[in-house]
């Protein structure tokens, strides 16, 4: 687990106009911290510091040490609002961590042996990733940076679903409790011809939409 820390300041000047001034004049990102037994708190974070942290994939699913005017809290990043046209963060939401209380977080998947799996190396198939990340539930101490998906034995025509994933101890996938319809395919191996046909169909669908 990577240790992440961010420095923040309490923000009293609220509203859309204040947020615009904050971003424009001080290169700060307006944010909010909520959850636990405390009231939601408006804060600001240096854009440069936040952007640097966001470059690390693990930041999105890790416990963050947030120092607000020198007082540290443990939080999770729950939402980001990005500028529609510019590489700029407009707003961030953080949720407080409560000891002994489970959290629900989106965790990235790391796919192993894509080039050497049976379906690709021996049968000439192609790997199709259906889910880049999954939502998991666990205690904060059990939160993984990522979950590995090993494709080594996967053959053409075979798939791995959510229920097939090997999860770390204490980690569950909440959607699986909702029934078999929610056991989504994570990754599958398709034959070259099938893959080409799928790409052609997708292209025709895009042209029709236009």
Please list the pLDDT of the chain residue by residue as tens digits (210 residues): 558 999 999 987 665 665 566 656 568 899 999 998 899 999 999 999 999 999 999 999 999 999 999 999 999 999 999 988 888 888 999 999 998 899 999 999 999 999 999 999 999 999 999 999 999 999 999 999 999 999 999 999 999 999 999 999 999 999 999 999 999 999 999 998 755 555 555 555 555 555
What value, to the nearest 5°, has the Cα angle with vertex 37 and ends 34 and 42? 30
Contacts of 133 (CB under 8 A, 6+ apart): 106, 107, 108, 109
Both tokens of 34, joined, read 């909520």
CA-to-CA distance for 118 and 155, rounded, in angstroms? 5
CA-to-CA distance for 140 and 113, rounded, in angstroms? 29
The sign of the dihedral angle between the CA atoms of 192, 196, 202, 203 is positive
Both tokens of 74, joined, read 């443990």
């Amino acid at each position: 687990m990577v240790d992440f820390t961010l420095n923040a300041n309490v923000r009293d000047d609220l509203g859309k106009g204040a947020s615009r001034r904050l971003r424009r004049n001080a290169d700060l990102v307006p944010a909010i911290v909520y959850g636990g037994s405390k009231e939601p708190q408006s804060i600001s974070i240096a854009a440069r510091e936040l952007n640097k942290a966001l470059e690390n994939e693990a930041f999105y699913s890790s416990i963050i040490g947030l120092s607000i005017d020198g007082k540290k809290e443990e939080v999770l990043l729950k939402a980001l609002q990005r500028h529609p046209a510019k590489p700029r963060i407009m707003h961030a939401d953080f949720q407080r961590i409560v000891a002994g209380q489970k959290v629900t977080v989106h965790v990235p998947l790391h796919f192993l042996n894509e080039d050497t799996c049976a379906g690709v190396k021996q049968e000439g198939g192609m790997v199709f990733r259906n889910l880049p990340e999954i939502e998991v539930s666990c205690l904060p101490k059990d939160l993984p940076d990522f979950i590995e998906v090993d494709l080594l034995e996967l053959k053409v025509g075979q798939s791995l679903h959510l229920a097939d994933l090997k999860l770390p101890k204490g980690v569950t996938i909440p959607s699986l409790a909702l029934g078999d319809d929610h056991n989504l395919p994570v990754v599958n191996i398709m034959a070259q011809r099938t893959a080409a046909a799928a790409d052609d169909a997708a292209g025709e669908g895009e042209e029709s939409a236009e």
